[in-house]
Amino acid sequence: MDITLIKPKIGHPKGGEYLDEGRMEPLMLGVLGGLTPPEHHLTLWDDRFEPIDFDRPTDLVAITVETFTARRSYEIALEYRNRGVPVVMGGIHASLLTQEVAQHCDTVITGDAEQVWSILLEDFQSGEMKAIYKGIPGPAQGITQPRRDLFAGKGYLPVSLIQFSRGCPNHCFYCATSAFFEHTHHVRPVDRVIQEIGDKKLLFFVDDNFTSNKAAAKELLRAMIPLKTHWVGQMSLDVALDDELLTLLQKSGCMGFVVGFESINSDNVTWMKKNNVNSGVSRAYEEQISRLKDFGFQIWAAFTLGHDFDTQSSIEDTVAFALKHRFSFAAFNILLPYPGTPLYDKLNEENRLLFNGNWWLHTDYRFNHAAFIPKHMTPDQLTQAGMAGRKKFNSFPSVVHRALDLKTNLRSLPKLWIYMKYSLLFRREVARKENMILGGNSFEES
Ligand code: B12
Ligand code: SF4
């Protein structure tokens, strides 16, 4: 049987195409490939940079759907279904908004694919494919090794995506992952992860929160030390409170990680139910940041803008804070109400959702624009404040200012090289994504 796997793009600039230069391997499709019995033939189309050949004969199409790619996913599904090819959808949006997704495909898989993908394939071959398969969010990957050969020759960034754990026990109320995994957290056996790392030299652990289970993380880090690999990941700020963990991270080759600061205002942090992990906010995070820098970690600081205690000037303060700390990278994303999250439900109850409550399908919605009415500014003011922040942080004077951080970016030549390469890439990519229209441009409104 011939199976086509698809990673859809988010959208496109008005009247043009956006080809993602900073694209990373779609690990979920590699995992799906690894779960597929070897007698089947697989083809991967990454819509973010290559045209899909809809006319190539195939028996079954599998699309991974995130909320911001839902519109494009439905367009792709329609093309195939018009040609009589059945379509399966899975991924976070398929789990959080199953009824909507089900209207655009033949079968939806909710939760993880591990327990249900091979059953679906057997049912399909015997002509008995069901409308819904429910996978539970469980141990990441088990024994499956991703089919990384599917990524070969596609021009992905030279970093291998890998996962040690999935989910997160915390309750940050805007977080789609937390809703997807129902606040559970699962780790893979250490030997499986070490086997998968093999001789890879640069890794990105995609775990939502790599250090959620600190004892398990330490076990993996000890086992990674002899591999002499370099890696980046994502962790919550409470990692800074554990010196043994910081030492092991450094020894295992960790160069830096994404930290979800989200806000520098303690009222916001409490409002979003993140005060357990971001407990340092009341002292402006100073001690934790300084501790992370002592170890040389290059921090990618993630902020979300538009929380209930945010104002236009507090957003300017947030950008100033990121510049003051010379973070290697930073994201200033507008707070987005993802369906299935407590934030979405709250804003819905308060009648504060824009775009009929489904921004991800709305033709007027633009990427990284406000999709709700903030408390202390207009939606447009929030959108503009986000854009101004991204522009300032990614400006050339800022790139130079941040390069001069002796504890991180100037600590060694490899760190400086990583910093320069990726800050220039992100600078370009962030600017190109501004105002992007969701979906493909053949569907653009005139
Ligand atoms: C790694 C990652 C990234 C990487 C990109 C990686 C890549 N390949 O391009 C980076 C850092 C660049 C990134 C960027 C963004 N990301 Co991101 N990212 C993730 C993260 C942390 C892990 C995804 C992953 O690889 N997981 C490992 C795989 C194996 O697991 P999985 O995707 O869940 O797949 C399993 C199941 O879902 C299912 N499944 C998935 N697809 C399919 C398809 C079929 C057919 C089937 C049967 C099953 C199936 O089976 C798989 C195996 O069990 C997730 C959080 C998360 N846990 O999902 C956020 C996440 C997906 N990202 C998110 C967001 C918002 C973004 C951005 C829009 C942020 C921004 N504002 O710029 C950008 C947009 C990226 C883009 N497309 O341009 C949100 C999406 C929310 C939503 N409701 O859609 C998430 C959930 C984070 C969050 N906490 O909210 N991201
Ligand atoms: S700590 Fe991160 S992954 Fe965990 S619930 Fe909060 S935002 Fe989501």
pLDDT score recorded for residue 6: 98
**Domain closes at, from 99, 134, 169:** 134
Question: What is the total count of domains within the chain?
Answer: 2
Report the alpha-carbon distance of residue 286 to residue 3 in Å, rounded: 51
The residue whose CA has the least distance to atom 3 of ligand 2 is: 208
Residue 268 lies in a domain: yes
Relative to the CA of 236, which ligand 2 atom is closest? 1
CATH code for the domain in which residue 230 is found: 3.80.30
DSSP code of residue 111: S
Same domain, 7 and 116: yes
Distance CA 81, CA 32 (A): 21
Residue 444 is assigned to a structural domain of this protein: no
389, 379 in Cβ contact below 8 A?
no
Mean pLDDT split into 10-residue runs, the chain, 446 residues: 98 86 94 96 96 97 98 98 98 95 98 94 97 84 88 95 93 88 90 95 96 96 97 95 97 97 93 84 86 97 97 97 98 96 97 97 96 98 98 97 96 95 94 92 53
Domain assignment of residue 86, yes or no: yes
In a domain, 169, yes or no: no
Contact indicator for 188, 140 with CB cutoff of 8 Å: yes
Residue whose pair of structure tokens reads 């994504």 in the numeric block? 433
329 bridge partner residues: 300
Nearest CA to ligand 1 atom 47: 90
Q: 191 lies in a domain?
A: no
Residues 122 and 209 in one domain: no
3 state DSSP class of 257: strand
Work out which ligand 1 atom sits closest to the CA atom of 23: 9
Q: Tell me, yes or no, whether 217 and 130 share the same domain.
A: no
Distances (CA, A) of 163 to 33, 76, 294, 365, 421: 16, 28, 26, 32, 24
Note whether 95 and 213 are same-domain residues: no
The dihedral sign for the CA sequence 391, 392, 393, 397: positive
The verdict on 308 and 425 lying in the same domain is yes
174 CA: nearest ligand 2 atom: 7
Closest CA to 4 of 53, 39, 70: 53
Ligand nearest to the CA of 124: 1
Mark whether 214 and 345 lie in a shared domain: yes
Q: Would the CB of 109 count as within 6 Å of ligand 1?
A: yes
Domain boundary residue among 117, 134, 151? Answer: 134
Q: Are residues 337 and 237 in the same domain?
A: yes
Instruction: Say if pTM beats, i.e. exceeds, 0.85.
Output: yes
pLDDT, residue 136, reads 82
Residue 197 lies in a domain: no
Say if residue 123 is in the same domain as residue 211: no
The full DSSP string for 161-173 is: EE-SEEE-S---T
The residue from 134, 155, 173 where one domain ends is 134
The closest residue, in CA terms, to atom 75 on ligand 1 is 10
Domain span holding position 83 = 2-134
Indicate whether 145 belongs to any domain. no
CA of 259 to the centre of ligand 1 (A): 17
